[in-house]
Amino acid sequence: MLALNLKHFYLPLLLYNFLLIAIFIYVSIKLLIRFKLNMDKSAYYTICIYIYTLAVQNYDWDRKYSELFDNYQLIDLQTIDYVNILLDQLMIFLFDTVIIYYTFEMRLVRNKHEFSTFTELDAFQSRNSLLRNILFVVSFTLLAFNQLFQFIVENQTDLEMQQSPAYILLVFTSVFRFGIDIFYISLIIKYFNFFVCQKMKMIHRRGQNLTTKFRVIVIWVYFILFAYILDLLAKLIIYAFLIRSQGLFHSFYQVYRFIFYSTLVTLHGHTFLYLFYSQAEMSENDNKLRQRAVNKKCKDTDCILNILYEDQQLDTR
């Protein structure tokens, strides 16, 4: 019944997902123009990943809408399915790389002050990068095996599924992925709490009060982290348990992916855009201060040279 009712929402959801990517691209372009493309490489990488993720969401939903209402006939269903699986898995992996990358960037910033020499810091940076790259490989491997077992299970009957080692392995890899993702999110919460505490201590030392903007940012980040945990739980429920009931799996998956997940990815993306805006603005202000200092130094130097020149002229007289 739910699957039947969902048909009435295919066009609105198509427009909704298109609107999400259109707004995100518009804000991204405005940001890049504002700072004249002078941003960190990780910002470009992250923006491209979120655009790709939202584009795949639109492509998948548009394809489903076309099949249902426009009598669109696929030329080679098997080939198209493999292409879609590849696009979807690449989307998930790239999104995971964003989470892993910024988790270890936060770890690096968190531990920088604990080293007294550049040698110790360089060694820690190397270990941090190595561990991050290892987790990239682990994430990709788990995702590949999880998709393989899911593909096997989806093509089995209910009786075959009950006796299938593939289903047990699917549950195992899904739970394992969930555990690793919870580990990442716990690290993010830990490091974010540390940064918030440091900022609050600095504000109190200055005798100032917490601003409304600071409170809103903190609450927003915790909201995003909570929504991400809900996303992890939804994935675990879908792939480890609901897959045994194809009708329920299909309906729940459509609602999850094209409403909840699309919205969550967009909120994540705009949060990162605000982070990049703040970083770029801070860097721009620092550059202006340095330039003023250089200009002032040049003026002082010119004054000194003029004074010396005048003294020299007096001496010659």
The domain that holds 197 is classified in CATH as: 1.20.1070
pLDDT bucket at 269, cuts 50 / 70 / 90: very high
Tell whether 157 is covered by a domain: yes
Tell whether 301 is covered by a domain: no
Tell whether 297 is covered by a domain: no
Tell whether 306 is covered by a domain: no
Tokens describing residue 242 = 């609901």
Residue range of the domain that includes 275: 2-283
Q: Is the pLDDT of residue 26 over 90?
A: yes
Q: Is the pLDDT of residue 103 over 80?
A: yes
Tell whether 305 is covered by a domain: no
Q: How far apart are CA 150 and CA 253, in angstroms?
A: 14
Q: Is the pLDDT of residue 217 over 70?
A: yes
Q: What are phi and psi of 39, to 5 degrees?
A: -135, 165
Angle at 34 between CA 32 and CA 35, to 5 degrees: 70
Mean pLDDT across 142-167:
76
pLDDT bucket at 42, cuts 50 / 70 / 90: confident
Mean pLDDT across 183-193:
92
296-316 pLDDT, tens digit each: 555 555 555 454 455 555 455
Mean pLDDT across 195-207:
88
Tell whether 316 is covered by a domain: no
Tell whether 303 is covered by a domain: no
**What 3-state DSSP class applies to 56?**
helix
CB 5 within 8 A of CB 251: no
Model pLDDT, residue 310: 52
Tokens describing residue 308 = 């010396």
Q: How far apart are CA 148 and CA 160, in angstroms?
A: 16
Model pLDDT, residue 72: 46
Model pLDDT, residue 77: 42
For residue 146, what are the contacts with CB-CB under 8 A and spacing of at least 6? 170, 173, 174, 177, 239
Mean pLDDT across 186-201:
91
Mean pLDDT across 271-292:
80
Tell whether 200 is covered by a domain: yes
155 burial (CB, 10 Å; 0-12 / 13-18 / 19+) is: exposed
For residue 19, what are the contacts with CB-CB under 8 A and spacing of at least 6? none
pTM: 0.80
Min mean pLDDT across 16-30, 176-190, 210-224, 274-288 is at 274-288
Domain count for the chain: 1
Q: How far apart are CA 10 and CA 3, in angstroms?
A: 11
Q: Give 166 or 65, the one with higher predicted confidence.
A: 166
